[in-house]
């Protein structure tokens, strides 16, 4: 039995046993849904609210589907028309929503630390789930990426994983590294142009590299990341063509990786910038599987937080 999760705001310090438990729970849910039925009713009568202050396609839709498929009621709060636009501070919005008896709030926001702040201000038993806070964390993406890798290569202690792109602005990179480190991954390489790499002390379990041809050599998994222009100043945005030339994953580069290297990307993709179309759509790509796994992992997380 793992310790009970009350909220999910980060994977930092999450023990291996909890990550493996969630992976196995997601696989059990996937198997239970494999024969036509997509609906389990473990959360009937519970209410989940999506509170997204930043754009989202995959994360928001998959949280919504996950909650529906567990039988919960879902409210998608349209933050464009919320009272935050009238000057209401976020914890007053939280208390207002809590007064309506919610079981979980899934929050995405451009500010680092927002989800943790909500856990400190919450006055009810509501579970707070971080769906991405600035460049800080995206824990369910880290978990679904771990699940996607686990399905093919559960032997993390033998794996070399290369994450390439805009590492310093990426909450996905951070959460992936926390999950991969907890799972005992042999080697994690972070690669990108010097201006987009983090400080090495922030990532003590990783090798930081600037040359993608070297970083992908022998890799068992490669995860590409988008340039997060919305978190950069205009002068930091690299030229697209030269970026693709040095850091884009094309067939030739992929051939340097280990045979059968899994190609992953959290989306949204920018084709011919961080990944060539024929790789994104090629046989080694697991990108759409990540999307499918996102629903199962978010079902596992909601189930874990709301039923135990
Ligand atoms: N969808 C991911 C995120 O929200 C990755 C990205 O936007 O590039 O962080």
Supply angle C-alpha 149, 60, 118, rounded to 5. 100
| Per-residue tokens: 137 | 């964390």
Q: What are phi and psi of 10, to 5 degrees?
A: -160, 160
C-beta separation of 26 from 299 below 8 A: yes
Polymer length of the chain: 308
Kindly write down the DSSP assignment for every residue of 126-143, as one continuous string: PEEEEEEETTTB-HHHHH
Tell how far the Cα of 228 is from the centroid of ligand 1, in angstroms: 8
Mutate to test the pocket of ligand 1, among 226, 229, 274 (most ligand atoms within 8 A of CB): 226
Distance of CA 245 to the CA centre of its chain: 27
Q: What number of CA atoms fall less than 13 Å from residue 188's CA on the CB side? A: 23
Tell how far the Cα of 227 is from the centroid of ligand 1, in angstroms: 10
Among 125, 94, 90, CA closest to 111: 90
Cis status, amide bond into 80, omega within 30 of 0: no
Ligand 1 binding residues, C-beta < 6 A: 132, 138, 171-172, 226, 228, 266-267
Identify the helix (H) or strand (E) that includes residue 97.
helix 90-98
Tell how far the Cα of 246 is from the centroid of ligand 1, in angstroms: 22
Sign of CA dihedral 222, 226, 231, 235: positive
Could you say which residues of the chain have pLDDT below 70?
Answer: 1-2, 308
CB atoms within 10 A of CB 133: 26
Long-range (24+ apart) CB contacts under 8 A made by 203-212 are 203/177, 205/177, 205/181, 206/177, 212/164, 212/246, 212/247, 212/249, 212/253
Mutate to test the pocket of ligand 1, among 11, 61, 132 (most ligand atoms within 8 A of CB): 132
Mutate to test the pocket of ligand 1, among 170, 174, 273 (most ligand atoms within 8 A of CB): 170
Closest ligand 1 atom to 58 CA? 1
First-residue to last-residue Cα distance in the chain: 11
CB atoms within 10 A of CB 30: 18
Tell how far the Cα of 169 is from the centroid of ligand 1, in angstroms: 10
pLDDT at position 193 is: 96
The Cα 122–Cα 109 span in angstroms is 17
pLDDT at position 156 is: 98
DSSP label at 34? T
The Cα 170–Cα 182 span in angstroms is 19
pLDDT at position 254 is: 98
Q: What are phi and psi of 52, to 5 degrees?
A: -110, 115
What is the pTM for the complete model shown?
0.96
Q: What is the pLDDT of residues 189-214, one digit of tens each?
A: 999 999 999 999 899 999 999 999 99
pLDDT at position 1 is: 58
Closest ligand 1 atom to 54 CA? 4
Residue with tokens 């999506």: 50
Q: What is the pLDDT of residues 48-91, one digit of tens each?
A: 999 999 989 999 999 999 999 999 999 998 887 777 777 888 88
The Cα 75–Cα 68 span in angstroms is 10
Tell how far the Cα of 173 is from the centroid of ligand 1, in angstroms: 10
Distance of CA 283 to the CA centre of its chain: 23
The Cα 103–Cα 274 span in angstroms is 39
pLDDT at position 204 is: 94
Among 182, 176, 179, CA closest to 190: 176
Tell how far the Cα of 61 is from the centroid of ligand 1, in angstroms: 14
CA distances from 191 to 3, 16, 207 (A): 34, 25, 8
Supply angle C-alpha 35, 70, 104, rounded to 5. 155
């Amino acid at each position: 039995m793992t310790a009970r999760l009350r909220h999910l705001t980060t994977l930092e310090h999450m023990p291996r046993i909890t990550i493996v438990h969630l992976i196995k729970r997601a696989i059990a849910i996937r198997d239970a849904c494999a024969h036509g039925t997509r609906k389990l009713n473990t959360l009937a009568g519970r209410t989940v609210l999506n509170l997204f202050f930043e754009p989202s396609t995959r994360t928001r839709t998959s949280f919504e589907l996950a909650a529906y498929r567990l039988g919960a009621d879902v409210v998608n709060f349209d933050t464009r028309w919320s009272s935050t636009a009238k000057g209401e501070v976020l914890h007053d919005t939280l208390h207002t929503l809590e007064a309506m008896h919610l079981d979980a709030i899934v929050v995405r926001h451009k500010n680092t630390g927002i989800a943790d702040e909500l856990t400190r201000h919450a006055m009810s038993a509501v579970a707070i789930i971080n769906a991405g806070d600035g460049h800080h964390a995206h824990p369910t993406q880290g978990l679904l990426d771990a699940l996607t890798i686990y399905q093919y290569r559960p032997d993390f202690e033998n794996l070399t994983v290369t994450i390439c792109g805009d590492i310093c602005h990426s909450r996905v990179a951070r959460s992936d590294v926390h999950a991969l480190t907890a799972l005992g991954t042999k080697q994690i390489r972070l690669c990108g142009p010097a201006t987009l790499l983090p400080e090495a002390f922030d990532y003590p379990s990783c090798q930081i590299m600037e040359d993608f041809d070297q970083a992908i050599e022998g890799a068992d998994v490669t995860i590409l990341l988008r340039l997060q222009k919305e978190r950069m100043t205009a002068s930091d945005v690299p030229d697209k063509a030269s970026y693709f030339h040095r850091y884009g994953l094309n067939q030739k580069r992929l051939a340097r990786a280990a045979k059968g290297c899994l190609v992953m990307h959290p989306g949204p993709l920018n084709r011919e910038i961080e990944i060539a179309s024929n790789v994104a759509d090629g046989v080694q790509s697991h990108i759409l599987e990540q999307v499918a796994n996102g629903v199962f992992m978010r079902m596992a997380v909601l189930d874990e937080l709301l039923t135990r």
